[in-house]
């Protein structure tokens, strides 16, 4: 692991002096995506080149193809020549070529300099139209138009909302500079939200997608801040005696759960989103840390060593006794709850390996999702179907994405340096 196993839980408890070991090299480039697995069954979709898409900054049809292929649940059928949404199509012929759906469209230049992308999705089996709409985008945000169409295709064909137009945040290190970076879910469109010569860890998106909470060591100790991604302003949230760590937002954005050691032992607290109204939630003589609100706001999940080793517990967000959740394995940390409330993701150490597991909260069935050995920082996609996490391969930090059934897998890397601490942003309005 990045630090000694005996110290791993202490890192999460707030003893974070070793975080400078997390990174090596430089990283300030678009994330590169490698697909290493696909879904159990793939939906064959023919995606034609869009009419007049050559006038746009990028090929919108290629953006859509890449999104759907990356999901692991679609097989893109090769086509020849462009097809606009107004063109006549022979749907039985496309069905005979193996396509269950056909996607066509066109790109048009608006008078204000924006591009309008028009698209239509056909069901070849029923010879019917599944969806059709137009989306406008400025040149710098043209990729978003493609992502939104891919979201619609994903939802129409699977019944689950797509996550291609969402964003992710993560931490990189470039020389001696740490950076909190924001990117599209496919790793493109990287923007630096905050830079520091001291470590940055534990970013956490606000529910409305306008802010990110994180821990900065610029004061030579862990301090919690909230960064406004629209204005660039940031607010100090927690700078108490000792360690201030592991921020996590409540579903309504009104509060943050934190791990603070201001009263000797690291315990779970909540604060208002402006840093006021500090309330202690746990009272033990051990370590309680890594709090996470459930999606309905009714519970707080957290890591505690009260049973002798780190395990995951939950308590009502209004306070009260905590109940243990994980019982398999002697070392379970980093709880994350899926937005639909059905799945718990966490990191478990078994046979000396730190790997990503999920627990079905309905039937208590556990599943290991990764084959890597140094996994960290899981984060659910807002549709609950994918998990992003940090891992280490070849001595370098990278990000992985895996579907909750473990079948579809991706790896996101940079050309140089390490990338760590991912957090997946919410659906945008």
Kindly list the distances between the CA atom of residue 366 and the CA atoms of 73, 174, 290, 304, 408, in Å, as whole numbers in the listed order.
23, 38, 21, 20, 18
User: Kindly report the CA angle at 24 between 332 and 292, in degrees rounded to 5?
Assistant: 30
DSSP state, 122?
A: E
Residue 404's closest CA among 425, 419, 390, 389?
389
Rounded CA separation 257/250 (Å): 7
274-311 pLDDT per residue, tens: 999 999 999 999 999 999 999 999 999 999 999 999 99
CB 238 within 8 A of CB 271: yes
Tens of pLDDT along 337-386? 999 999 999 999 999 999 999 999 999 999 999 999 999 999 999 999 99
Which residue stretches of 228-318 are H helix? Answer: none
Q: Reading across the β-sheet that carries 353-360, which strands appear in turn?
A: 332-337, 343-350, 353-360, 366-368
Note the pTM of the prediction, 2 decimals.
0.90
First-to-final CA distance of the chain: 39
8 Å CB contact between 200 and 418: no
Identify any residues that bridge with 194 across adjacent strands, giving them in sequence order: 180
- List 293's β-bridge partners, or say none: 300
Residue ranges and CATH numbers for the domains of the chain are: 5-22+166-424 (2.120.10.30), 43-158 (3.40.50.10070)
pLDDT of residue 4: 29
Residue 415 confidence (pLDDT): 65
- Residue ranges of the chain whose pLDDT lies below 70: 1-40, 415-417
Distance CA 429, CA 250 (A): 18
Residue 413's pLDDT is 75
Residue pair 17/410 in contact (Cβ under 8 Å)? The answer is no
Whose tokens are 């409305």? That residue is: 208
Backbone angles phi, psi at 44, to 5 degrees: -75, 125
Could you tell me if 317 and 297 are in contact, meaning their C-beta atoms sit under 8 angstroms apart?
yes
Name the one residue in this structure whose structure tokens are 């999901």: 71
Instruction: Give the Cα separation of 19 and 227 in Å (integer).
Output: 21
Spatial separation of the C-alpha atoms in residues 79 and 97, rounded to whole Å: 10
Whole-number Cα distances in Å, 181 to 186, 269, 381: 13, 27, 17
Question: What angle, 0 to 180 degrees and rounded to 10, lies between the N-to-C axes of helices 142-158 and 60-71?
Answer: 40
Q: Would you state the pLDDT for residue 354?
A: 97
Q: Are 282 and 291 in contact (CB under 8 A)?
A: no
Cβ count near 225 (within 10 Å): 22
Task: Give the H/E segment covering residue 382.
Answer: none
Closest CA to 97 of 76, 74, 126: 76
Give the integer Cα–Cα distance in Å for 14 and 70. 36
Q: Is the dihedral of CA 51, 56, 57, 63 positive or negative?
A: negative
d(CA 384, CA 427): 11
């Amino acid at each position: 692991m990045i630090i000694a196993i005996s110290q791993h839980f202490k890192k999460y408890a707030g003893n974070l002096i070793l975080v400078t070991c997390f990174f090596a090299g430089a990283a300030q480039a678009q994330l590169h995506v490698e697909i290493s697995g696909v879904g159990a069954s793939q939906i064959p979709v023919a995606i034609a080149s869009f009419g007049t898409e050559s006038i746009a900054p990028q090929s919108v049809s290629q953006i859509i193809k890449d999104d759907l292929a990356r999901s692991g649940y679609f097989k893109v059928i090769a086509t020849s020549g462009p097809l606009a949404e107004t063109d006549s199509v022979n749907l039985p012929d496309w069905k005979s070529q193996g396509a269950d759906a056909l996607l066509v469209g066109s790109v048009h230049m608006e008078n204000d300099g924006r591009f309008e992308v028009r698209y239509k999705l056909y069901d070849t089996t029923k010879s019917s139209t599944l969806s059709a709409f137009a989306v406008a985008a400025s040149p710098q945000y043209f990729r978003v138009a493609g992502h939104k169409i891919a979201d619609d295709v994903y939802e129409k064909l699977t019944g689950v909302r797509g996550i291609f137009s969402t964003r992710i945040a993560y931490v990189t290190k470039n020389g001696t500079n740490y950076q909190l970076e924001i990117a599209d879910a496919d790793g493109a469109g990287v923007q630096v939200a905050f830079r520091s010569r001291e470590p940055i860890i534990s970013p956490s998106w606000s529910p409305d997608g306008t802010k990110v909470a994180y821990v900065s060591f610029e004061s030579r100790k862990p301090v919690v801040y909230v960064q406004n991604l629209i204005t660039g302003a940031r607010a100090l949230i927690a700078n108490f005696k000792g360690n201030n760590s592991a921020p996590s937002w409540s579903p309504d954005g009104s509060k943050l759960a934190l791990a603070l050691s201001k009263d000797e032992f690291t315990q779970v607290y909540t604060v208002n989103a402006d840093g006021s109204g500090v309330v202690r939630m746990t009272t033990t003589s051990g370590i309680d840390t890594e709090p996470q609100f459930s999606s309905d706001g009714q519970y707080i999940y957290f890591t505690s060593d009260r049973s002798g080793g780190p395990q995951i517990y939950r308590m009502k967000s209004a306070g009260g006794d905590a109940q243990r959740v994980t019982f398999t394995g002697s070392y379970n940390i980093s709880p994350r709850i899926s937005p639909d409330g059905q799945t718990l993701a966490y990191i478990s150490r078994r046979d000396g390996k730190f790997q990503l597991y999920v627990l079905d909260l309905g039937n208590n069935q556990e599943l290991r999702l990764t084959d890597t050995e140094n996994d960290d920082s899981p984060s659910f996609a807002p549709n609950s179907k994918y998990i992003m996490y940090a891992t280490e391969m070849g001595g370098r930090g990278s990000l992985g994405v895996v579907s909750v059934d473990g079948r579809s897998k991706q790896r996101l890397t940079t050309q140089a340096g390490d990338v760590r601490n991912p957090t997946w942003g919410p659906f945008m309005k």
